[in-house]
Structure 1
Amino acid sequence: MKVMTRFRPCIDLHAGQVKQIVGGTLSTIESDLKTNYVSSHPAGYFAQLYRDSNLLGAHVIMLGPGNDSAAKEALAAWPGHLQVGGGITDANAREWIDAGAERVIITSFLFPIGRFSLDRLKSVLASLDNDTSKLVIDLSCRRKGETWFVAMNKWQTITEMEITKESITMLEPYCSEFLIHAADNEGLQQGIDTELVSRLAEWCNIPVAYAGGARTVEDLNLVKQCSRGKVDLTIGSALDVFGGTGAKFEDCVTWNRDNAN
């Protein structure tokens, strides 16, 4: 396992457009949605930008319906190098790999009525010929007291799965990475959940990407310190390419280059 934090980019899609939103406001009620930024560029533009900067491990997240075409446009711009998530099931996981995804990311399908289903996880893997290198498990979560529970359905439904060393250890044999949004922090630029980052570094033996609350390039150093280089960081709303003022995209690219093994 690599031991160096790196910046990972994202392409968040909502209603076919590249957007940065406040994660906790996603629901079926459109008026609840709080949007930080709507890009004038299509998804393929950002995929090409990441390709030109050789930023590996980027995730394309489809937030609700109407995003398939935009996601496939991104995959076509950099085949075999982008992860895709949002509505992935055992019925379509292979389709997304065939469309050019490096890996598929899965969450809600694993939690029928909010309860984890190992059978569903195994069925997704079976659709990928049991190739764990093609699967990322999304354990995006919300805080409940002093701990975290996996959140599904656009982060609106809290499941019964607590994020613990035991639950991480149980899931690791079935995937190649974890993606974990701190949903309470997502899109707010109010700071990293450093306690969660530290726990992930302690518990995870496979690569893990954290997202939520990043404000500046200095947060890459913070995550590197908290995780001893074991956890990667996604910066979204703070990036200048997404209308942010806290972090310049080129500075993040430079940080990766300067901190490469």
Structure 2
Amino acid sequence: MTRFRPCIDLHAGAVKQIVGGTLSDSNASSLRTNFTSQHPAGYYAELYKEHELRGAHVIMLGPGNEEAAKTALAAWPGGLQIGGGIKDTNAREWIDAGAERVIITSFLFPSGTFSLPRLQSVLAALNNDRSKLVIDLSCRRVVDDSSSPHPRWKVAMDKWQTITDFEITRDNIALLEPYCAEFLIHAADAEGLQAGIDEKLVQHLAGICEIPVTYAGGGRSIADLELVERLSGGKVDLTIGSALDIFGGSGVTLEQCCRWNDRR
């Protein structure tokens, strides 16, 4: 059944909620921030631990976030996943620092093209334990018309600014599934907008993924959890960020999300 999955997004060492498509190394003035917390990352890790909200992803959006991330992992060893700059040379380090799983994206796509040897090298660094690995396939639509009956999505890397040649298809998902425990997929065009989920992407993921998958982007209410559950037949989990009260939102409270999970 569909479950609420929490997050801790880190930017410049602080917990923030950012409009995903505006994050860029080359143009800092374009960044749109919905919320910057006065609490450190460890505060949210302890909050999730208190409510047994497992599977939360801690995402380091750029440099300067390592200390904050390690503080969160130390607050709940084995309870959080970590992503952002993960590669074969540091994946084991983050597991040793307390991460339940590491999340990889950009490292798998040198020059925008998928590299199976790179994926295999990350898995080797984890002693070939696929239960420790999440593959992030955050993506953007590559069909401009959102009303198209057959939209397509391609993986976006480098803070969702670079669209790769890797399309979210059944064959590509089947290629990756033997190497990981689950997928994390942000709809980058909807991330942080609180304008509703990409319904067609949720349906598409439910139809092609055989392992657990978490969707993020546009979630704003309990009604969206109900919608994801209906569209996916309970196969896809949902992350809610900017709309959540602990991140300054007014769409839904953490308590409501916990009650939703308790009923699953």
Q: Which residue of 2 aligns with 1:245?
A: 250
Report the Cα distance in structure 1 between the residues aligned to 2:72 and 2:259, rounded to whole angstroms: 23
Q: Which residue of 2 aligns with 1:12?
A: 9
Q: Which residue of 1 aligns with 2:96?
A: 98
Q: Which residue of 2 aligns with 1:72?
A: 70
Contact 1:217 1:248 in 2 (8 A): no
Report the Cα distance in structure 1 between the residues aligned to 2:13 and 2:222, rounded to whole angstroms: 28
Q: Which residue of 2 aligns with 1:158?
A: 163
CA-CA distance at 1:215 after TM superposition: 1.2
Q: Which residue of 1 aligns with 2:205?
A: 200
Report the Cα distance in structure 2 between the residues aligned to 1:216 and 1:105, rounded to whole angstroms: 26
Per-residue deviation, residues 84-112 of structure 1 (Å, max 9, x unmatched)? 00000000000000000000000000000
CA-CA distance at 1:218 after TM superposition: 1.2
CA-CA distance at 1:199 after TM superposition: 0.9
Per-residue deviation, residues 85-142 of structure 1 (Å, max 9, x unmatched)? 0000000000000000000000000000000000000000000000000000000000
Contact 1:132 1:174 in 2 (8 A): yes
> What is the identity, as a one-letter code, of the residue corresponding to 1:180?
I
Q: Which residue of 1 aligns with 2:222?
A: 217
Q: Which residue of 2 aligns with 1:42?
A: 40
Partner of 1:101: helix, strand, or coil?
coil
Runs of 4 or more above 4 Å deviation? none
Per-residue deviation, residues 35-73 of structure 1 (Å, max 9, x unmatched)? 000000000000000000000110000000000000000
Taking structure 1 as the reference length, what is the TM-score of the superposition? 0.98
Partner of 1:55: helix, strand, or coil?
coil
> What is the identity, as a one-letter code, of the residue corresponding to 1:34?
R
Report the Cα distance in structure 1 between the residues aligned to 2:185 and 2:164, rounded to whole angstroms: 14
Report the Cα distance in structure 2 between the residues aligned to 1:215 and 1:93, rounded to whole angstroms: 32
Q: Which residue of 1 aligns with 2:28?
A: 30
Question: Structure 2 stretches of 5 or more lacking a match?
Answer: 144-150
Report the Cα distance in structure 1 between the residues aligned to 2:70 and 2:224, rounded to whole angstroms: 31
Q: Which residue of 1 aligns with 2:113?
A: 115
Q: Give the count of matched residue pairs.
A: 256
Q: Which residue of 1 aligns with 2:81?
A: 83
Report the Cα distance in structure 2 between the residues aligned to 1:88 and 1:30, rounded to whole angstroms: 23
CA-CA distance at 1:30 after TM superposition: 1.2
Per-residue deviation, residues 170-218 of structure 1 (Å, max 9, x unmatched)? 1000000000000000000111111110111111110000000011111
The alignment's C-alpha RMSD in Å is: 0.5
Question: Structure 1 stretches of 5 or more lacking a match?
Answer: none
**Percent identity between the aligned chains?**
71
Report the Cα distance in structure 1 between the residues aligned to 2:251 and 2:104, rounded to whole angstroms: 30
> What is the identity, as a one-letter code, of the residue corresponding to 1:64?
G
Counterpart selection for 2:50 from 31, 52, 75: 52
> What is the identity, as a one-letter code, of the residue corresponding to 2:73?
L
> What is the identity, as a one-letter code, of the residue corresponding to 2:60?
M
Report the Cα distance in structure 2 between the residues aligned to 1:248 and 1:204, rounded to whole angstroms: 29
